Chain A
Amino acid sequence: MTALKRIIKAGFINFTRGGIISWAAVLVVTITLSVITMIILLQAVLYFSLNVIKDKVDVTIYFNVGTSEDKIILLKESLLKLPEVAAVSYTSDIEALKLFRSRHENDYPTIQALDEIGDNPLGAYLNVKAREVNQYEDIANFLKSDNTLVLGSANIIDKVNYHQNKLVIDKLNAIISGAQKLGFLITLLLIIISIIITFNTIRLTIFISKEEISVMRLVGASKMRVRGPFMIEGAIYGIVATILTLILFWPVTAWLGRNMTDFLGINMYDYYVSNFFQIFAIILLSGIFLGVISSFLAIRKYLNK
């Protein structure tokens, strides 16, 4: 207990006496933690954008003119039972006509042609949204399969626009999974680079104390008594760097929130504030972990003599 108290006290004293060297280490850890924070925020933007794009993809089932609403509702029910389906919205033939008219308001010849026909030439349709972009194919296959034939749906479906949209959906699918993979790779790379830089900086600060370490050992200090204060110092680097990072991102996200919300599609400041404690926890743990482990590994070389 006394030993632990002494180690912690020595760590604090070393940090304050370290002067510029301590602050250089804090600066480097701060940069690493800023990279991690930036990645957290970028991930939020990426996932938000991908969700917006995913939301734009859907499949529409057009029914033959005059199909009874009961049959369509029946199909809707069976579609909703599929695990892949997130939502199904029904548009009746009358609504379809209304929408068509309002869309072609200024297109006089089309409206005139429509009036000429007299009857409603449009059928009702179902709009199907899948949970994942790559599940549309399954839904399209379901509509072709026997399940729907039993319900007597096959002869009421005019067309399913999945096959026209297939190319776009496949492309989007590739882009989304590519973006996620790339994001993960870049994240990994940046984190590895910053860990290496932090580790080497801390190694340098310990290299400076090489003589001290050997003297402490000669005086008869145990390994833990020598190593402990350096690990505490590493933890202090992490804690101070965490505070600096979180303060730094306050104005940054505020600026992003005010000026870039339209571009990013998400208000960074709101995101930062509402997720502050999760971000704080991640950054603090990473900072302490980085500082302590780096010190632990860096000092090992000088202890085994």
Chain B
Amino acid sequence: MALDDVTFTVTAGEFVSVVGHSGAGKTTLTKMILADDIPTSGTVFFESINVHKLKNKDLTKLRRRIGVVFQDFKLLSNKTAYENIAFAMEAAGKADEEITNDVPHVLDLVDLGNKIFHFPNQLSGGEQQRLAIARAIINQPELIIADEPTGNLDPINTYEVVQILKKINDLGTTVILTTHNKGVIDSVGKRVITLENGKIIRDTKNSK
């Protein structure tokens, strides 16, 4: 069992770090929130919506309100940086003008303005993760879930990614970050939920 008797609430605008060893259940937790995985018992609410009761179409709508960043980036490998972001906007039904205006802007924001037409395999790990973050925030989601976003990155890129996530949180977006890296938690310095063997063993409002 990946998760056992886990209950917690995240309020809007919060920055929550979920920490635990590999296999503690962090990824399962994020998949539950996205309804990518179904719990054997229990419920997950997004605002007042029970995400596991949603039909396929409504689930698509819900996912547009949540931006996701993964450890392995999950970029579309046969699309350029520009197209990766544009695709997320198209999926959300944005107009063409809006796409041509916003995409270069957000790429500048994550410092990829000069790599618009690069494919993911032409970008470094840190650049790919910044692209993934840009994609996650382009539709102004209410919640960003970052599942081990720094797992594959070196310390410098890790620091940059954490700074970008903090900036996003400062602008009002709720962030849930999972990690097993103590340094990341220390540099975030906000609420920390500690998971061990699928159970919450600690929930501190301020790690410092």
Contacts and interface: CB of A to CB of B under 8 A. Distances in A.
B101 to A, nearest CB: 16
Contacts of A102: none
Interface in B3-61: 34, 36, 56-57, 60-61
Max chain B C-beta neighbours (<10 A), residue from A14, A18, A209, A217 = A217
B135 to A, nearest CB: 7
Max chain A C-beta neighbours (<10 A), residue from B56, B61, B139 = B56
A218 B59 CA distance: 10
A216 B60 contact: no
A223 B91 contact: no
B95 interface: yes
Contacts of A223: 56
Interface string A1-23: 01100100000001001100000
Contact of A222 (B34, B74, B91, B96): B91
Contact of B36 (A212, A218, A221): A218
Contact of A220 (B63, B75, B76): B63
B122 interface: no
A8 to B, nearest CB: 13
B134 interface: no
B169 to A, nearest CB: 21
Contact of B88 (A2, A14, A219, A305): A219
Given A2-B95, A222-B60, A216 B76 contact: yes
B91 A219 contact: yes
A225 interface: yes
B123 interface: no
Given A218-B63, A220-B92, A17 B76 contact: no
B77 A220 contact: no
B90 A215 contact: no
Contact of A218 (B68, B78, B90): B68
Nearest to A215: B74
A216 B75 CA distance: 9
B159 interface: no
B130 interface: no
Contacts of B77: 211-212
Interface in A179-215: 209, 211-212, 215
Interface string A210-243: 0110011111111101000000000000000000
A14 B83 CA distance: 12
Interface string B123-150: 0000000000001000100000000000
A14 B87 contact: no
Nearest to B92: A220
B64 interface: yes
A216 B78 contact: no
A220 B78 contact: no
A106 B67 CA distance: 101
Max chain B C-beta neighbours (<10 A), residue from A6, A216, A220 = A220
Given A17-B78, A222-B60, A216 B95 contact: no
Nearest to B90: A6
Contacts of A2: 95-96
A79 B40 CA distance: 84
B91 A225 contact: yes
A220 B64 contact: yes
A220 B36 contact: no
A222 B91 CA distance: 7
B10 to A, nearest CB: 20
Given A218-B34, A220-B60, A212 B91 contact: no
Contact of A219 (B57, B87, B95): B87
15 contacts: A2-B96, A3-B93, A6-B90, A17-B78, A211-B77, A215-B76, A216-B76, A218-B34, A218-B36, A219-B63, A220-B88, A221-B91, A222-B60, A223-B56, A305-B36
Interface of B: 34, 36, 56-57, 60-61, 63-64, 68, 74-78, 87-88, 90-93, 95-96, 135, 139
- Leading 4 A-B pairs by shortest Cβ distance: A221-B91, A220-B64, A220-B63, A215-B74
Interface of A: 2-3, 6, 14, 17-18, 209, 211-212, 215-223, 225, 305
Given A212-B76, A218-B74, 13 more contacts: A3-B93, A216-B91, A217-B60, A218-B63, A219-B87, A219-B88, A219-B91, A220-B139, A221-B87, A221-B91, A222-B60, A222-B91, A225-B91
